[in-house]
Structure 1
Amino acid sequence: MNAVNEVRQLLGGLDPAREVHPADESRRMRDLSRILTSDRVAVSTRRGVPRRRLVLAAAGAAVLAVAAGGVALETLRQPEPAFAATPAILSYGPPMSAEPASVRLRRLAAVAAAQPAPQRPAGTVEYLESANWFLNSSISGGRTTSAVVPQQWRSWRTDDDAGRMVKKDLPPTFRTDADRREWQRRGGRIDSSEEVRDSAAGGFYSRFQGPVPTDPVALRGWLTAGASAHEAPVQYLEDIAELAGVRLLNPAQRAAVLRLLADLPGVTVTGTVTDRAGRPGEAFSITSDAHGLPARYTLIVDSGTGAPLGYEEMLTTTAGKLNVAIPAVLTYRSYLVAEYATMPD
């Protein structure tokens, strides 16, 4: 419970549902308790800010590391442990309508575009906060050891792309004491850590510089600026999930995001859902094996504002060498705050 208490101290003043409706203090704490206790064993294996990268370790140990939520592969020969803990699968209800995803997403884009632009007090910057869960696993010789690593992300960005990013890693959670001991034996950390990165103009976030386009075609090119177009449609969905965690999107930008999603081949309606912060929304998914194992990538959207609420990745048919039971949620990001605020000292 130390990790849970620490997160509560960090996020105690936040209202996960503040974009949905006003809430009193008791409601705020109930919502926060839900997202931190029911999902403190939630795990995720996706990029946070950095991209996937392959690292080869010495002495024949192969390591695949995904920064801010990844899977590490090491060569060890140990007995196979029990399945790792993964978060409960969200329960999806019937869709809001019988419309195909492309039509429904365009309707939500129109809803987003009709929202009033947020008021920006003088001297403020973009401020975002998200709660994330990442599964770090080391696999080899039939042995898989997993640690669930919850993270808190906070960022402040100025108009000239300066700012501050704070990443708080909380103590990892393990399915068994044996996994904890093995994790420690391999040098894995078991305490909290915090990384604070201050950036000068132009250095806040290399991928998403300048204003977010409000045209879906322009947005598609902007997401891959400096690189070739994505080969798999799901990569654009992943980009949008990444973007939502670091940039405050105004109504026109939200509408462009939803129209881009509407144009992606393979996007489907997953259904209505209550997200992991207790907020109602609509879910849209793409199922793809673009990154190896077949997985379903899902974005949850607020029906009333078109704002992104959450994102998850779930293995659907096979876990490969991961010690998880199928279906298994491996990534979850909950977008809690997106507003204007003053830059901290």
Structure 2
Amino acid sequence: MTDELDLLREANPVSADTGRWRDRPLDARAELLLRQLASRDRGRRTVRRVVWSLEAAAAATILALALTVPGTGSSPAVAASRPLPLVAHASRADVPLAAIVRRARAAAEESPAKSERGSHIQSWSLGMASGKDPVTLPQESLTRWNADGSGSLLVVATDPRHPGRPVIEDGPPPRTVNDGKVLRNERYPAGIGGANENYFEDPPSGAQALREYLAVWTPGADRDPADLISAVRSFLSVWTPGPRQRADILTLLSGIEGLRPAGKVTDRLGREGQGFRFTTTPGGRYLIVLDPDDGRVLDVEETVTRDDPEYRVKAGDVMSYTAWIS
């Protein structure tokens, strides 16, 4: 116990001169210090990958049942096939990342619009278990929050026979408009305001401040490119960034050494974007698709770059994919 107490005192997440702390949450700096302390000497990346695989395998079982059990008034869904990787095509019309960053910064100077809590996304992930075939999990989710802190969450298992077709219509209230199995449909009372989510505090302005903010919930985002990309994807599942945060995100991405242009991409929702690749160590690759006009992150795709017979995946298989509808 002495060693743990010494480490905690060394981290000093709440110093003696910060006033009364027991009646309020820790600030971002305190959260960051505690999370860095907890992640020290863990073999962080290996642990994260193993835990993700176990969680995805459990989710695969649940969603596989949802996809094969018809709901009231809905047609049965079918088992999903694995999505193919997005294909990028280089051309002379490609827009460099530096140019997209400049456009985003110019838009941020012209518009005072703030980030909004909530998101509308389609996602696919590969549920893996040792010795078993992976299961692809297609779903769409819409989260919305109101000024009084009330909100809603709707999650639908999408019909894999129609990949990329939105199944949720945004509105008061949101509703399903196409085939799909509703997995969650929740309403939150006033005053909640996403307080139980990650990234519950409003994001700060400035790229460096945003990096530190992201690192509170994804330790390593302040120093590791793969963790930074993962953190951005997680952040965008909670927030729809305004022009300033959008420019800050692009500034962070543009600073990643090894992020390379991949060419033009038509994503799974039929949108044209500019792709950029980053290869991780070991065995993974991200493809980030940006709107070249305003710098919005349209998609983030993660694929494996080498075979893994134990989990029955091959180089080029899509591990996860997220497309932001709004």
Render the CA deviation track for 1:282-316: whole Å, top value 9, x for unaligned: 11222112xxx511112211011111111110112
Q: Please say if residues 86 and 330 of structure 1, whose CA atoms lie closer than 8 Å, have aligned partners that are also in contact.
A: no
Q: Please say if residues 161 and 210 of structure 1, whose CA atoms lie closer than 8 Å, have aligned partners that are also in contact.
A: no
- SS of residue paired to 1:138: coil
User: How do 1:1-345 residues align onto structure 2 when only pairs under 5 Å count?
Assistant: 54=51, 64-66=54-56, 85-94=81-90, 101=97, 103-104=98-99, 106-113=101-108, 116=111, 126-140=117-131, 144-158=132-146, 163-170=151-158, 192-199=181-188, 200-201=191-192, 203-225=194-216, 228-230=219-221, 232-289=224-281, 293-337=282-326
State the alpha-carbon separation in 1 of the partners of residues 82 and 88 from structure 2. 18
- SS of residue paired to 1:253: helix
State the alpha-carbon separation in 2 of the partners of residues 93 and 301 from structure 1. 14
Structure 1 residues 111 and 93: CA distance shift in structure 2, 3 A: farther
Q: Which residue pairs with 2:71 in the alignment?
A: none
- SS of residue paired to 2:325: strand
| Letter aligned with residue 298 of structure 1 | L
Structure 1 residues 149 and 227: CA distance shift in structure 2, 3 A: closer
| Letter aligned with residue 264 of structure 2 | T
State the alpha-carbon separation in 1 of the partners of residues 122 and 217 from structure 2. 29
State the alpha-carbon separation in 1 of the partners of residues 148 and 92 from structure 2. 40
Q: CA deviation at 1:281?
A: 0.8
Does 1 or 2 have the higher relative contact order (CA < 8 Å, sep 6+)? 1
| Letter aligned with residue 306 of structure 2 | T
RMSD, matched Cα: 3.6
Structure 1 residues 148 and 301: CA distance shift in structure 2, 3 A: same
State the alpha-carbon separation in 2 of the partners of residues 214 and 281 from structure 1. 26
Q: CA deviation at 1:326?
A: 2.1
Q: Please say if residues 148 and 172 of structure 1, whose CA atoms lie closer than 8 Å, have aligned partners that are also in contact.
A: no
- SS of residue paired to 2:285: strand
Structure 1 residues 53 and 296: CA distance shift in structure 2, 3 A: closer
State the alpha-carbon separation in 2 of the partners of residues 65 and 283 from structure 1. 29
Q: Please say if residues 109 and 259 of structure 1, whose CA atoms lie closer than 8 Å, have aligned partners that are also in contact.
A: no
- SS of residue paired to 1:224: helix
Q: Which residue pairs with 1:32 in the alignment?
A: none
Structure 1 residues 324 and 163: CA distance shift in structure 2, 3 A: same
Q: Which residue pairs with 1:47 in the alignment?
A: none
Q: Which has the larger radius of gyration?
A: 2
Structure 1 residues 229 and 54: CA distance shift in structure 2, 3 A: closer
State the alpha-carbon separation in 2 of the partners of residues 272 and 165 from structure 1. 33
Q: Please say if residues 164 and 204 of structure 1, whose CA atoms lie closer than 8 Å, have aligned partners that are also in contact.
A: no
Gaps of 5+ in 2: 1-47, 63-79, 162-179
Structure 1 residues 67 and 307: CA distance shift in structure 2, 3 A: farther
* TM-score, normalization by structure 2: 0.62
State the alpha-carbon separation in 1 of the partners of residues 230 and 126 from structure 2. 17
Q: CA deviation at 1:216?
A: 0.3
Structure 1 residues 100 and 334: CA distance shift in structure 2, 3 A: closer
State the alpha-carbon separation in 1 of the partners of residues 305 and 123 from structure 2. 21
Q: Please say if residues 127 and 134 of structure 2, whose CA atoms lie closer than 8 Å, have aligned partners that are also in contact.
A: yes
Structure 1 residues 139 and 192: CA distance shift in structure 2, 3 A: farther
Structure 1 residues 100 and 308: CA distance shift in structure 2, 3 A: closer
Q: CA deviation at 1:163?
A: 2.8
Structure 1 residues 53 and 197: CA distance shift in structure 2, 3 A: farther
| Letter aligned with residue 82 of structure 2 | T
Q: Which residue pairs with 1:9 in the alignment?
A: none
* TM-score, normalization by structure 1: 0.59
- SS of residue paired to 2:216: coil
Q: CA deviation at 1:117?
A: 5.1
Q: Please say if residues 284 and 299 of structure 1, whose CA atoms lie closer than 8 Å, have aligned partners that are also in contact.
A: yes
Structure 1 residues 295 and 164: CA distance shift in structure 2, 3 A: same
State the alpha-carbon separation in 2 of the partners of residues 259 and 160 from structure 1. 32
State the alpha-carbon separation in 2 of the partners of residues 267 and 69 from structure 1. 31
Q: CA deviation at 1:258?
A: 0.3
